[in-house]
Every structure is written in C-alpha cells, then in structure tokens.
Amino acid sequence: MFPDQLAVEIRLSDTRAEGGSLRDLVATISAVSDTVAYLIDPDERIVASSVPTGREASIPRLGRLLAAIGSQGEPPISATVLPRDRRLPLRRHVIAPVAHDGHLFAYLVLACDDPDDSSEDLVWIADRATIHVRGEYLAQRRLARVAWNARTNLGRQMVRSTTYDADLRACAEYLGVDLAADRVVVFVLERGRSSGSTVDAGRLSDLVAKDLAVEILPIRGSEGVLLAVKVPEDSAHAPFLDRIKGAVIDGLERMGDEQAVAGLSSVTRPGQLRRAYREAREVARCLDRYGSPDTRAVGCDELGPARLFVANSDENSVRIYVHDVVGPLLNGGEAMRMLLKTLQVFFESGRSIRDSATVLQVHENTVRHRLSRVHDLTGLDVASTPNDQLSVQTALLVLRLQGHHAVPGFGRGTESTLRTLA
C-alpha cells in the first residue's frame, strides 16, 4: 500500500472508529478524493452527500448513471468508471455498489470535473470506501434488529400483563414507548396454517405505521403476528379503526400475501391488551375458518359476541347449524334473498320495524310481513323472541363471513352495513 493509500485508509478507519455516521463517512470520502461524493439508495433517495468547498454540483438520477455503463437492472460488481457524458454536470463519475450477501444497500458515486485526475486512484478509493460504508450499514442493521427485538419483547410483556411493573416501565421509557396510550391489537394469520406463520411482521408493521403515522409494536407469536397499534388521544375510535383496517389491507396487498387475514380488537385501555389479543385472535380465526377470499380484515365490533362461538366450534357443526337455522332461506331466488336482506337490516337497525322500513324504503307492514314469512319458513320468531334473534344473527354472521350474495360482506371500514344494504 502506497503512503497516499495508507493515509486514505487511516482517515476512513478513524471516521468509523469515532462513531461516524454514513453522512460523516461520505464527507471523509469527499475530502480524501477531492470529489463530489454521494450515497444513493436503489430507490434513488439521496442518503448522504458532500460537496467540496467552493464547488457546485447537481446530482444526476441513478437510472441515468446506470444507463451510462449499460446496466440492465443489475448493479456493477465493483467500482466502475463511467464513460464521459457531456450531458452530466460533472465530466468524470465513478460508481460503486455497497452490497452484502446479495443485498444492495446503496451506490457510492464520486464525481469531479478534472479530466486529468487518475481514474485508477478514484476507483481504488471508491472500492475501499464501500467496505467502510458497508460496515456501517451492517452495524446499523444489527442495531435495528436489536431494537426491534427489544420492542417486540416489550410488546409481548404488555399483552401478558394486566399491570405494568417498574422494570417494564423503565424498558418502555428507554425505547420511547407510551404505556399510557389506548391501543388496538391486530392479529394476522395465514389461512390454513395453524402455526409457523410466514407473514413478515417487521415489514407489515412498517407499512401500517407509515400509513397511519403512529407507534406500532410488532409481536411474532406461535400462530401469527400481532400489531399493537397506538391510538392518538384526539382520534375518534370508529374512524381510526376504519383507518387501521384499511392500512392493514393495503399492507398485506403490497406484501403480496394473499393468504393472510387480520382481526382487529376494539380500542383497549392500558393493561387490557390480553383481552384485546383474545378479541383479535377470535376474529382472525373466524376469517380463517369461514371467510371468503375477498375478506382480508374484520373488526371485533363487526362480529359481536357471536365470534366466540364461530371461532371455537367445530367447523362442520357450525355449517350444519347455519343450514338448520336459515337453510330454507338459502335457496329460492329473489324472494328468499329479500328475506335475508330484511333480516340483516332488521338487526342492523336495532330490531326496529320503523328504522328497517326506512332503510329498505318499504312500508312498515311489509317488514312485518317478511318477518312473519321467515317465521313460517324457519319456525323462528325473530320479531319478538330473543333466543331466535340470537340464532338468526349468528347464522347471518357466518353467511357474511362466507361471502353469501344475499348479505353484505365486510368492506374496508368497520362501520354499519346499513349503507350497503340500502
């Protein structure tokens, strides 16, 4: 190693030894190479840049630089000198990939306007610099993994605990987690998989957190993934639940996980996350066992207490139960479909004949006649008998989960289905 090369290596090593960030490293690289230096990630985001004093430079797009070396989407293997391009703001560019085990972190680019500079020197500096930059990326990734694990362990303890002891509070304070906040638990599992979920908890958490701009604690469990979503103090609960549901659906779609479904708990006070976990898990199990492919996420409040029966009973027994309760209404064309729709509106309207008639835009006597017709066909008096009402509501819930055409499914929101039925 020549004296000048040794001096460069010492400067780079000293920067890292002093705890320098990526920005500090790029500044050192710019200083030792006397070039405009910048770090750009594969999404063309400028991670860090440094321009020597007295110079001005605009940074060209990454795609343009890669096109200059004939790259067809594959990064160069090592530092590469780009052919001179008069359209670029500076006449000489060296681009080097920062990668590890097939993962591309970023590109390091050195640019200058002096055609007499030695390309060999710039290539050597770029190659050595990428080693130090890669080391910093790996260190940051390790730290991020440690922090993620710490937050996951904290979230797991919060779900298990009904009171928060001093150690848990100290950990939360260190990690910047708000223990006093209300939360919604989201339970995500994959259809047909009882254990060993492959859902990427970290990525889903990041996508949902970015969409909602709130704190989320991701937790990987034996059956699936939990997200403990912080509810902002000034947020109305129902609209925010709708936002969570939409963000989870969008996140799963962006991840391309077609088999994953999610259950949402109600908004839960601190110290009650264990209950919220049970609610969300029961909803997810309902979707796993009976849900249609079009239903990706459902809120606890949409299913009501019947979810406990639907989530934990034998599947075949539940299907037989539904047939026994509303079987006569499942076939018979438009007339039977209208009876099912009337039943759904009746329950959504708080069992009010008047409100049901308003939603259906019919006379109140028409609603009474239809309920009487249901009584004749099924033997169930839904107009006045609580047990019969519960039986039919439970059967309708299963039909909704299955995506039956006569009753509304579960959309992106958790609001009442009356608007859909009207």
Nearest Cα to Cα of residue 252 among 184, 300, 183, 190: 190
Q: Which pLDDT belongs to residue 279?
A: 95
pLDDT-derived band at 252, boundaries 50, 70, 90: very high
The more confident residue out of 338 and 418 is 338
Could you write out the three-class secondary structure of the chain? CCHHHHHHHHHHHHHHHCCCCHHHHHHHHHHHHCCEEEEECCCCCEEEEECCCCCCCCCCCHHHHHHHCCCCCCCCCCCEECCCCCCCCCCEEEEEEEEECCEEEEEEEEEECCCCCCHHHHHHHHHHHHHHHHHHHHHHHHHHHHHHHHHHHHHHHHHHCCCCCHHHHHHHHHHCCCCCCCEEEEEEEECCCCCCCCCCHHHHHHHHHHHHCCCEEEEECCCCEEEEEECCCCCCHHHHHHHHHHHHHHHHHHHCCCCEEEEECCCECCCCHHHHHHHHHHHHHHHHHHCCCCCCEEEHHHHHHHHHHHHHCCHHHHHHHHHHHHHHHCCCCHHHHHHHHHHHHHHHCCCCHHHHHHHHCCCHHHHHHHHHHHHHHHCCCCCCCHHHHHHHHHHHHHHHHHCCCCCCCCCCCCCCCHHHHC
**239-253: average pLDDT:** 94
Query: How crowded is the C-beta side of 384, counted as CA atoms within 13 Å?
Result: 3
Largest CA distance in the chain: 99
- The tokens for 112 are 């200058």
More confidently predicted of 284 and 333: 284
Under 8 Å between Cβ of 415 and 238: yes
Q: What is the pLDDT averaged over residues 374-388?
A: 93
Checking if the pLDDT of 268 tops 70, the result is: yes
Task: Give the confidence band of 229 by pLDDT, cuts at 50, 70, 90.
Answer: very high
CA angle 416, 420, 422 (to 5 degrees): 105
Stretch among 80-89, 146-155, 158-167, 215-224 having the lowest mean pLDDT: 80-89
Taking the CA of residue 108 as centre, how many other CA atoms within 13 Å lie in the half-sphere pointing to its CB?
Answer: 32
Residue recorded with tokens 């579960």: 410
The token duo for 148 is 């993620």
Q: Express as a percent the part of the chain with pLDDT over 90.
A: 46
**pLDDT tier at 220 (50, 70, 90 boundaries)?**
confident
* The predicted structure's pLDDT at residue 107: 92
For residue range 3-15, list pLDDT tens digits in order.
688 889 999 999 9
Instruction: Evaluate whether 410 touches 287 at the Cβ level (below 8 Å).
Output: no
320-326: average pLDDT: 93
Name the token pair of 28: 């050192």
Q: Can you give the pLDDT at residue 419? A: 45
CA dist 96 and 303 (Å) reads 55
Q: Is it the case that residue 389 has pLDDT exceeding 90?
A: yes
Q: What is the pLDDT of residues 285-319, one digit of tens each?
A: 999 988 788 889 999 998 888 888 888 888 899 99
d(CA 187, CA 283): 8
Lowest mean pLDDT across 56-70, 87-101, 239-253, 357-371: 56-70
pLDDT score for 55: 74
pLDDT computed for residue 62 by the predictor: 79
pLDDT tens-digit series, residues 18-42? 888 899 999 999 999 888 899 998 8
Task: Kindly list the structural domains of the chain, giving each domain's residue range(s) and its CATH number in brackets, ordered by start.
Answer: 3-136 (3.30.450.40), 180-309 (3.30.70), 313-421 (1.10.10.2840)
Least confident of 85-89, 356-360, 362-366, 399-403: 85-89
| Average pLDDT estimate for 232-243 | 92
Tell me the average pLDDT across 371-392: 93
- What does the mean pLDDT of the chain come to? 86
pLDDT at 273 exceeding the cut of 90: yes
Rounded Cα distance between 128 and 107, Å, is 13
pLDDT at 166: 87
Q: What is the mean pLDDT of residues 148-158?
A: 89
What is the pLDDT, as a whole number, of residue 28? 94
Max mean pLDDT range (152-166, 213-227, 272-286)? 272-286
Q: How confident is the model at residue 171 (pLDDT cuts 50, 70, 90)?
A: confident
Angle of helix 273-290 relative to helix 119-160, nearest 10 degrees, comes to 100
Query: How do beta strands 80-81 and 46-50 pair?
Result: unpaired
Q: What is the mean pLDDT of residues 118-125?
A: 84
pLDDT of 236 strictly over 60: yes
